[in-house]
């Protein structure tokens, strides 16, 4: 019997153990990072906001002019089956569309590649480790690298262009921080590797509106803040304003609402998670259990 307990892949229409999931070395997703993806979380056996993730993934494919043979219903079923095969209750489930390998060897014409769709799922991945979430993350606002501008790379399309993030992470680790946050050329806050950033000042919650992914967890948090009577805004946030905030937090599908205790030398909430952040974090975890926002994986269907 095939062992899917470590994860499952869906490649070429076939379901395989995660260690056997492969794509070709000439695939433009590998050689050119000509690819888009999305990751939907599974909590306690239920997908969270799956339709919203599928909507964003389809928009990303359309904007990159990727055309795959599978329709949405096929992808939806494949995501469910991958998770069901593994038996994993808390999972990290990815869907990926790549430009593919050239149909004519050596061509530089993106129209002459075999676009394809694949997916994979593994046990849940926390973008920020759980122990760091508990104490509040130490974030390094990078000084040696800036965010790739959205005039060069469309940040509303989830992508693998991580050159700036990787340089920022090395700077963060060299300075004893847990992760990095990048500013744009004008000194405004953007995002970090796998997360959006928020600031809180009084009853006001704000998050950047440019040079960043419009995250599903970001959207959920904005909704929750409004429901809790807070004033919310998507706008430009100069880095000086972030250092003057009462609290800073991050949002990601890989962990939800994550407290920040420090940004560079600035300490927030006595070097601990802030009270408003924790209120939103609690509300987020409650929402991911809400049947109105989730759909159950039928684990019994594959056995």
Domain ranges of the chain: 8-123, 130-287
b/e code 240-254 from CB counts within 10 Å (16+ = b) = eebeebbbbbbbbbb
What's CA 32's distance to the chain center, in Å?
A: 21
| Nearest residue to 217 via CA among 35, 62, 38, 79 | 38
What would the CATH number be for the domain defined by 8-123? Answer: 3.30.470.10
Could you tell me the strand order of the sheet in which 35-43 lies?
Answer: 14-17, 8-11, 116-123, 91-98, 35-43, 46-48, 294-296
**Fold adopted by 130-287:** D-amino Acid Aminotransferase; Chain A, domain 2 (3.20.10)
Place of tokens 């993934």: 57
Place of tokens 């992760």: 179
What is the C-alpha separation between 101 and 107, in angstroms, rounded? Answer: 10
Q: Measure Cα distances from 289 to 3, 25, 161, 286, 293 in Å.
A: 29, 40, 32, 5, 8
- Render each residue's pLDDT in the chain as its tens digit; 303 residues: 899 999 999 999 999 999 999 999 999 999 999 999 999 999 999 999 999 999 999 999 999 999 999 999 999 999 999 999 999 999 999 999 999 999 999 999 999 999 999 999 999 999 999 999 999 999 999 999 999 999 999 999 999 999 999 999 999 999 999 999 999 999 999 999 999 999 999 999 999 999 999 999 999 999 999 999 999 999 999 999 999 999 999 999 999 999 999 999 999 999 999 999 999 999 999 999 999 999 999 998 775
What does the pLDDT read at residue 303? 58
Q: Is 93 helix (H, G, I), strand (E, B) or coil?
A: strand
Non-local CB neighbours of 292 within 8 Å, separated by 6+ positions = none
Place of tokens 């979430």: 133
What is the C-alpha separation between 75 and 77, in angstroms, rounded? Answer: 5
Q: Is 133 helix (H, G, I), strand (E, B) or coil?
A: helix
What does the pLDDT read at residue 1? 81
Pairing of strands 204-207, 195-201: antiparallel
Same fold, 8-123 and 130-287: no
């Amino acid at each position: 019997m095939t062992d899917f307990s470590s994860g499952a892949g869906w490649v070429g229409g076939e379901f395989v153990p995660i260690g056997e999931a492969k794509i070709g070395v000439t695939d433009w997703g590998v050689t050119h990072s000509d690819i888009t993806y999305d990751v939907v979380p599974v909590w306690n056996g239920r997908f969270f906001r799956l339709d919203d993730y599928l909507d964003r993934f389809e928009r990303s494919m359309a904007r990159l002019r990727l055309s795959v043979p599978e329709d949405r219903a096929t992808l939806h079923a494949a995501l469910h089956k991958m998770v069901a095969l593994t038996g994993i209750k808390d999972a990290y489930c990815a869907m990926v569309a790549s430009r593919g390998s050239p149909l004519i060897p050596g061509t530089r014409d993106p129209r002459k590649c075999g676009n394809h769709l694949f997916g994979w799922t593994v046990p849940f991945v926390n973008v920020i480790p759980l122990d760091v979430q508990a104490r509040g993350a130490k974030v390094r606002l990078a000084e040696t690298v800036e965010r790739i501008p959205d005039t060069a790379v469309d940040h509303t399309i989830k992508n693998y262009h991580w050159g700036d993030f990787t340089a920022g992470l090395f700077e963060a680790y060299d300075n004893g921080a847990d992760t990095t946050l990048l500013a744009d050329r004008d000194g405004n806050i953007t995002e970090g590797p796998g997360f959006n950033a928020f600031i809180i000042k009084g009853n006001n919650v704000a998050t950047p509106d440019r040079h960043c992914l419009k995250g599903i967890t970001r959207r959920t948090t904005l909704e929750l803040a409004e429901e809790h009577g807070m004033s919310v805004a998507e706008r430009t946030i100069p880095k000086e304003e972030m250092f003057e905030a009462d609290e800073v937090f991050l949002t990601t599908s890989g962990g939800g609402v994550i407290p920040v205790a420090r940004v560079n030398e600035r300490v927030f909430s006595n070097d601990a998670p802030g009270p408003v952040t924790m209120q939103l974090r609690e509300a987020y975890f409650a929402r991911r259990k809400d049947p109105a926002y989730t759909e159950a994986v039928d684990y019994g269907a594959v056995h």
